[in-house]
Amino acid sequence: MSGRFRVQIAPSILSADFAALGAAIAAVERGGADLIHVDVMDGHFVPNITIGVPVVRAIHKVARVPLDVHLMIEEPDRFVEEFVTAGAAMVSVHAEVLPHLHRTLHLIKALGARAGVAINPSTPVSALEDVAGDVDHVLVMSVNPGFGGQTFIARSESKIRAVRELLEKNGNPAPIEVDGGVDATTVARVVAAGATILVAGQAIFGSPDAEAATRGLRAAAEAALAAR
Tell me the catalytic residues.
39, 179
Give the type of residue at 123.
T
CA 211 to each of CA 28, 207, 225: distance values in angstroms, whole numbers, following the listed order: 5, 9, 21
| Count of residues touching Zn ion (by CB under 5 A) | 3
As a whole number of angstroms, the distance between CA 181 and CA 187 comes to 9
* 210 phi/psi in degrees, rounded to 5: -65, -35
Contacting ligand DX5 within 39-98 (CB under 6 A)? 39, 70
Please select the residue that binds Zn ion; options are 13, 16, 46, 70, rule is CB under 5 A: 70
Q: Is 121 in the site for ligand DX5 (CB under 6 A)?
A: no
Piece of the chain touching ligand DX5 by CB under 6 A; list 75-83, 101-109, 144-152, 166-174: 144-152
CA 200 to each of CA 11, 47, 79, 135, 152: distance values in angstroms, whole numbers, following the listed order: 5, 20, 25, 22, 11
* 176 phi/psi in degrees, rounded to 5: -105, 130
Piece of the chain touching ligand DX5 by CB under 6 A; list 121-129, 145-153, 185-193, 208-216: 145-153
The alpha carbon of residue 228 and the mean position of all alpha carbons in its chain are separated, in whole angstroms, by: 21
Please select the residue that binds ligand DX5; options are 132, 143, 220, 221, rule is CB under 6 A: 143
Q: Is 16 in the site for ligand DX5 (CB under 6 A)?
A: no
Q: Is 145 in the site for ligand DX5 (CB under 6 A)?
A: yes
Residues forming the site for Zn ion (CB under 5 A) = 39, 70, 179
